[in-house]
Structure 1
């Protein structure tokens, strides 16, 4: 599981008098608020109707009762996890988390004790599911930090299955703990040896305190008026200061997401003369394109847009599926076109206000608020809402009744390309319900790619295509389920390398290049030859080779993908070219020996008719371009 990420001040408080969330220590009613402890980074947001329906559907499935049974203000906090997980905050209490589990590919509700009280207080156990009662004498051990052992079980729902989420109650029916079953309910009743429930959360048994419900988000906006005015004022000052400090024409980058919508409204409150930019990647949701057009009409600004058309599908066979490490699609479908859009409309460049926030990622938290885009050389970017949480953004949108993208109300927590590898597997599964034609097109391509690479449909189902190097949790799942993750190599096929380079998407500083041979390559043969040593220091692990050349680096994946990072485009192109040529040498060496005579340090030798680079190589690279494979291959 991902570690908590501290990106800024934790701002969520709760007014128990008004029963609403407040972004500070005092509510507009004058009442002091109480701090709500949530998992960092604390990018809190409102729960929409679909979110509440999903929470209740999962709660009904697991416990036979809805968690949120009446009209209440519900806040979600996006917590670090391997896929998607949101903490659920109601009445100022964290009731639990709902997360999409990658092994079962299902949503699971992980209750805290307070959430379990909401479900089980004053309920007959005969009407509930997922419950375990324990002996009174076992309560002190649970509160002391122990798991529930089977001999301490008094009774249990016989339908509990191993790994189910369960609620543990004392003999009088008060909640003591929540956790996950380590044996089924029937076995628990037999009280054998062993752990019955692995405890996750526990508290002294007590009655639930229920605050009056019925609040709406209008009341939340009213309660936060002072704090919102403060944040809005700072953003207005930033916009006015930055725009007055330069002579470039002003633009707003609109993506169809909530953050860019808030920035557009803020800029419209400060400036009259500005343009709205929109890059249609060709793989946008139709709702996003329609929303961009609606917003343009609302603000009375012409939408300066450019479309990439079918560029993604025309390029995917060359590069393979995009991944978190290799988002070639950003360069082909977004950064290149937006460069053309700016250069075609603004001869001396432009100032662009962008909806970037520090609570989104560690990289954005470290970013400057004003920066020169090294990829679009004549564009200056500026972030007016850098210090805002998602809750600030949504309250601002609600204040002005702005036309936000309807996809937020359909369960998507981020708006981007519908097949983005950075989205969650949960969102990809949701895509099957909201846009089945898109899901079918993507899955058809991915399954075809998997079959041609010796991979399985499970590799597609579990979202493993989104990574060149799988995160630890996905590695565990692949091992447990026997899912192959390293593509098979066709030794008789010719290698054709395609490369794109440009400003690293979504990160400040540095230039990236990405390329692909379009098919799997034999990393074992490359490792044996040590040809990559001519480029830099090399480290191999399953399915990937990493090359380090001073501060620059590159990675070679068994899938045939190559990525490189450097400070300038010239350097990164040189690096990725050297890596590509060294791979060609390793895979097609004829054993001619030309490189042996050209090595100034005598570290190249011949073995079994193949050139090998020794461990004393100084990475000068002089053997690369003299190779006949490189010169004539």
Structure 2
């Protein structure tokens, strides 16, 4: 499994019926019965319909840049492709006309034409046009053209613009201007670079189809996909007849579809919605309205102020540090689904959504919620199939999709695109300003610049190349001031002890050292602790070694076994962090099938039941993000268990 690429089995195409002018999810049109042509998609191929908000952006870009928008009321598809932020191929009438993307540096949308887009635009455009005189028989694609070939241009051309190259009505293409309009005709320099130019013609289909046309052309295939999903749900429910069936309803499009399918699959069905405390108002209102209109009870489990309580210790969440998901979502879920017999949960996760979900199975047991069997009946559906199903079933959906959001989650989610985060500012400026102010306070305390927040760098702990490039371009430092936040500094790495064996020593710097009683209880999960009040030191005896913890942050571990000493040190640090930062989410309580843990002011361990299996540590968000919290690069094994 580890050697597979997340999207290696993903579809790289859809189909298009030119007779009906609609996209298809199979190679035969369900409306006219005719064959369809394949339309290639860049991976991962999670193509979707363009929302009204995105259509407005596309219209503005086309008219601002080229003075025309020939697309009109046609169906427009967007295919998400890799990019620095929100980046989509624009597909109209089964042809890729352009790439529309959000530029992190410019903090706005940009449009990059493709050859078919240039040819469609040429008869209508009034801007960004350069007339050239070149021999038609000469191969020019990818070549530079000197100003001597330029016979005229519109005055709005600027260096770096993607321009329309026109030789005649039947011979044209696109290129990139290397200079402004007033220098294009300079005969002593190459002022243009040709991308593609030729005599092929591209025109839009005479037929303008509607969404209803698209649904009818795909109805048979959608009904077949629904039947398959129903079979999956019934199959799992049949194997576990004693378990209740629930639906995880997030208020998003995917959970909407699985909810509708699950209602057809089983008679007794319960739905739940986890209110993280960070939901968009539109989402909360939609869930409430949906429950009322459908007459189905949707249990709402609230996280309350869990995020606010944990922010001082953890700082802002990040794409690679999603502590918020466990505290605000998984914690409430474990409390809600606390059923000793287990539970079946129908979930709308799809493998096309992200690399992390690229390998999800149809049925999986949740490692963090004991007894929960997750069923993912639409895991192989693409976004276009989800939307076609919604339109076919006439399901009401979250209005945020029409307002510029591709996916629905928490309004401050670091995993959201920067383009969507900026969109949040337009819709809810008060919440946006409050969160920005909080981020700016955190950045200032950490010695980071305001631009660190404004450009979205807070959304990563370890910044990807695209953000490192932006930082270099802006001249920004990404390193917090020394002494801020939490860190683990090694005084001495693994080394032989003078008395024999091996030892490690480090200092954990944090704003909060745990109370001795809380730390002592946490350490019981890995060994036998004892505390000296006079010396203010905690001693832990664990299997083949010992560790010591001093209130000043010094941590020492030793063992006759070199590898064990390393593991013991890492595990000791994890328990110190767990004791100091415990959010009382109770995930560890649910993870312990021996019922050896309870929360009473702080975590307490029943040593007569605890077998030190390590499940509670592996389930803990703090232990999971140990390296992110401390900045420690040492790769210590996860547990001595």
TM-score > 0.5 by shorter chain: yes
Alignment of 1:81-480 (within 5 A): 81-121=83-123, 123=125, 128-137=126-135, 140-143=138-141, 145-148=142-145, 152-164=149-161, 166-173=162-169, 176-194=172-190, 196-197=192-193, 199=194, 201-246=195-240, 247-343=242-338, 346-480=339-473
Q: Which residue of 1 aligns with 2:638?
A: none
Instruction: Summarize the Cα distance change of 1:183–1:296 in structure 2 as closer, same or farther, 3 Å threshold.
Output: same
- The answer on 1:621 being equivalent to 2:566 is yes
| Alpha-carbon separation, structure 2, partners of 1:394 and 1:115 | 25
Q: Distance in 1 between matches of 2:548 and 2:300?
A: 40
Q: What is the distance in 1 between the residues matched to 2:473 and 2:135? A: 38
Q: Count how many residue pairs are aligned between Structure 1 and Structure 2.
A: 532
Give 1:30 shift: 1.1
Give the whole-Å Cα distance in 1 for the aligned partners of 2:309 and 2:173.
Answer: 54
**Which segment is superposed worse, 203-212 or 77-86?**
203-212
In 1, the alpha carbon distance for the partners of 2:174 and 2:510 equals: 43
Question: Structure 2 stretches of 5 or more lacking a match?
Answer: 496-506, 513-521, 527-537, 541-545, 581-641
Contact conserved, 1:113 with 1:175, CA < 8 A, in 2? no
Any stretches of 5+ residues in structure 1 without a counterpart? 494-518, 535-555, 562-569, 602-616
Q: Is the 8 A contact 2:28 2:35 kept in 1?
A: yes
Which deviations, in whole Å up to 9, do the C-alpha atoms of 1:61-106 show, x marking residues without a partner? 22222252x2211111111222111111111111111100112111
Cα pair distance change 1:86/1:264, threshold 3 Å: same
1:57 and 2:57 aligned: no
- The 8 Å contact of residues 44 and 78 in structure 1, kept in 2 or not, is answered as yes
Structure 1 CA distance for aligned equivalents of residues 203 and 462 of structure 2: 47
Q: Give, in angstroms, the shift of residue 303 of structure 1.
A: 1.3
Confirm or deny: 8 A CA contact 2:251 2:398 kept in the other structure: yes
Helix, strand or coil: the match of 1:75? strand
TM-score, reference length from structure 1? 0.77
What displacement does 1:211 show? 1.0
Which of 40, 44, 49 aligns to 1:41? It is: 44
TM-aligned CA deviation for residue 300 of structure 1 = 2.1
Shift of 1:147: 4.4
TM-score normalised by length of structure 2: 0.76
Q: Secondary structure at the match of 2:467?
A: helix
Deviations 1:289-322 (CA, angstroms, capped at 9, x unpaired): 1111222223322111111122212211210110
Alpha-carbon deviation of 1:339? 0.6
Task: Name whichever of 410-419 and 432-441 sits farther off.
Answer: 432-441
Q: Distance in 2 between matches of 1:584 and 1:448?
A: 32
Q: 1:203 to 1:148 in 2, by over 3 A?
A: same
Alignment of 1:600-615 (within 5 A): none
Shift of 1:333: 0.4
Q: Is the 8 A contact 1:486 1:558 kept in 2?
A: no
Instruction: Sort the Cα spacing of 1:204 and 1:584 in 2 relative to 1 into closer, same or farther, 3 A.
Output: farther
For residues 122 and 279 of structure 2, the distance between their equivalents in structure 1, rounded to whole angstroms, comes to 44
Helix, strand or coil: the match of 2:374? strand
Q: How far 1:24 sits from its partner (Å)?
A: 1.1
2:135 alignment partner, SS class? helix
CA contact (8 A) 1:134 1:168 kept: no
**In structure 2, what is the Cα distance between the partners aligned to 1:5 and 1:248?**
33
Q: Tell me if structure 1 keeps the 8 A contact 2:144–2:190.
A: no
TM-superposed deviation, 1:599: 7.5
SS at match of 1:233: helix
Query: 2:568, 2:238 → 1: CA distance?
Result: 55
Residue 600 of structure 1: how far off its partner (Å) = 5.6
Q: Do 2:7 and 2:352's aligned partners in 1 also have CA atoms closer than 8 Å?
A: no
C-alpha RMSD over aligned residues: 3.6
How many angstroms apart in 2 are the aligned matches of 1:40 and 1:89? Answer: 14
